[in-house]
Amino acid sequence: MNQIKYRPIGTIYTPFKESKGTPIQPSASRGVKARIEIFPQFEKGLKDLDGFSHIILLYHMHKAKKYKLQSKPYMDDKKRGIFAIRAPSRPNSIGLSVVRLEKIENNIVHIQDVDILNETPLLDIKPLVGEFDKRGEIKTGWLEDNVHKLHHTSDDGRYQKPLDKNNKTNKSKNKK
């Protein structure tokens, strides 16, 4: 299999117009409100979602620049392997965020605790279920000594595509 294609089911609208200054994880963005506009053909899929307090969003990080297999993460000074960090520039720029669900009005999903850029294409929504998603002891690898920096760290723009002269993100595709 050489190619997998996904199509967005909606668009995430947030207060973050560029990566610089954006919280780097949902737990560092408590109270930040956003909304998701689900495309009309997928609206019926929202049935019964309103009974959950949190949802998992899978999305395409459309403004991420070309990835490197090793990169310096936000909360460390050493280069780490791409699969040991949560940076947006990845072989497949798929983002995952657990957010709080406020309410659903027709095809509009209101959420909180958002670390996502404005106008991000949404690929999928899944309900967060404590009994399914809870784990016992969790090891945090190299982050163990750095996780305390989360609430004092924000995106510095290092993973965003450079802006073109029209102040829009370049449309060039990531090349391997």
pTM of the model: 0.75
Specify the pLDDT at position 25.
63
Domain-located, residue 69: yes
Domain-located, residue 114: yes
The CATH number linked to 43 is 2.40.30.70
Residue 20's domain comprises: 10-129+138-152
Specify the pLDDT at position 29.
61
Domain-located, residue 84: yes
Who's near 17: CB < 8 A, 6+ residues apart? 117, 118
Domain-located, residue 27: yes
Tally of CB atoms within 10 A around 97: 20
Q: What is the mean pLDDT of each run of 10 residues along the chain (176 residues)?
A: 91 90 66 95 98 96 88 79 84 92 98 94 94 65 56 56 54 39
Domain-located, residue 148: yes
CA 12 to CA 169: how far, in whole Å? 17
Distances (CA, A) of 117 to 14, 17, 52, 114, 150: 6, 6, 23, 9, 18
Could you give the number of structural domains in the chain? 1
Specify the pLDDT at position 10.
98
Specify the pLDDT at position 11.
98
What is the residue-wise DSSP string for 130-145?
A: HHHH--SS---GGGGG
What is the residue-wise DSSP string for the chain?
A: --------SEEEE-S-SSSTT-BSSGGGSTT-EEEEEE-GGGGGGGTTGGG-SEEEEEEE-TTB----SEE--TT-SS-EEGGGS--S-SSS-EEEEEEEEEEEETTEEEEES----TTEEEEEEEE--HHHH--SS---GGGGGTGGGGGG-B--STTBPPB-TTSSB--PPP--
